[in-house]
Structure 1
Amino acid sequence: MRMLLTGPQAERPAGTIMGFFYFYFLLHWLTGFFMFFTKLGFTYGSVVRYYLGDPERFMNPRSFSGLLEVSHFHLFAMGLFFVVFSHLLLFTGFRAQVKDRLTWGLAGALLTDMASGWLVRYLAAEFAWLKLAAFWSVQGLSLVVLGGLVWEFSGRRSRRPLSMAPGKTGQLD
């Protein structure tokens, strides 16, 4: 219960766990970036080609079962990622409105990222722009949240519980 009031930075083992979590997340972020680049690419045409195929390059369109399998694992993994990051976001000094916007933005970007591949494949190629926007939104928002968490738990801010902090001192905008 004490960690819920003071945050994980107050206990040494919790700080170590958080440090490794941030490190592993950063590795995950980097590998996700490079996987997207190598599999889909960062252009409209390359995303369309990935989902709809390209006979000239002997690329088949993504199959229903292939998209379903990817969605199945991503729904669990991204749901878990969202719960962990949103939970940790509660301990930061961000204002309530910023926390709310980051939470909704991250949730929306994750859902859009997962849905947009289906939209490209089965509705219209133009949804490739949505796929690209969702990917960059997930990448950007998760880095903002990670940066806030690292800032908060690295000791740069007061270690007093936020409920005891006077006024708006230490609030991040």
Structure 2
Amino acid sequence: MNRPIVRTPTPAIGLYLILVLLLLISGALLFYWKIGFSIPDVLEYYLGSETRLQLYPEGPDRFMRPRTLRGLSEIAFAHFLAFGTLIFILTHFAHSLSGGRHGHLRRFLTVLFLSGALEVVSGYLVYAGAVLIRWTGTHEWIPLLAAVRIAVFVLFYGMLLICIGWVIRLLYSENAGEH
């Protein structure tokens, strides 16, 4: 027996969305302070000051050591768990509130999950740049990998903001049950 779903905005979902927005703001600030949004800063964070100064000698030496594979893995483990939970909850809200009737919802949610996974593993791509330097002695691909790291961060955060906006629209629309 299918009963019509009656939706009334609940304060818990709205408060959760506010919490997620605060989380995104603090995450973006931490990314800016710790890693940075420039290619030289990303290279320095992952590959150390020595590699950054080889590629961009005009920058300051902050005496940073390169990240280790173990350190990256510890960060990735925690982020996979946190991002997976966050994405699951947001997509659950979006799917439930829309009644699953949006044809493009599945594609959007797939891109959201993939961008979250790429956000976590993109640090490994920059780290792989150190391996490229050792094997080939060339530096051409390293800045591109750092640019990909920044782009993936922006993509993931943008997708999360779109999903939050979508959930808010579905949650507070007048005909929420008809979406």
Range class of TM-score, shorter chain: 0.7 to 0.9
CA deviation vs aligned residue, 1:10-67 (integer Å, no higher than 9, x gap): 3x6xx01101101100100100111111111111111111100104321000112211
- In the TM superposition, structure 1's runs of 4+ consecutive aligned residues that sit over 6 Å from their partners are none
2:117 alignment partner in structure 1: 111
Q: Does residue 82 in structure 1 map to residue 87 in structure 2?
A: yes
User: In the alignment, is the contact (CA less than 8 A) between 1:109 and 1:134 conserved in 2?
Assistant: yes
SS at match of 1:41: coil
* 1:1-173 aligned within 5 A: 6=5, 9-10=7-8, 15-55=10-50, 56-93=61-98, 96-123=102-129, 125=142, 126-154=144-172, 156-159=173-176, 161-162=177-178
Q: How many pairs were matched up?
A: 155
The structural deviation recorded for 1:95 is 5.6
Stretches of structure 1 that go unaligned for 5 or more consecutive residues are: 163-170
| Rounded Cα–Cα distance in structure 1 between residues aligned with 2:33 and 2:103 | 37
Q: Which has the larger radius of gyration?
A: 2
Structure 1 match to 2:55: none
TM-score, length-scaled by structure 1: 0.80
Amino acid at match of 1:38: W
Work out whether residues 42 and 132 of structure 1, in 8 Å CA contact, stay in contact via their aligned partners in 2: yes
Q: Secondary structure at the match of 2:19?
A: helix
3-state DSSP of counterpart to 1:6: coil
User: Residues 148-171 of structure 1, C-alpha deviation per residue, up to 9 Å, x if partnerless?
Assistant: 1111112x3314x33xxxxxxxx5
Report percent identity of matched pairs.
Answer: 25
Query: How high is the TM-score relative to the length of structure 2?
Result: 0.78
Between the aligned partners of 1:121 and 1:53, the Cα distance in structure 2 is 10
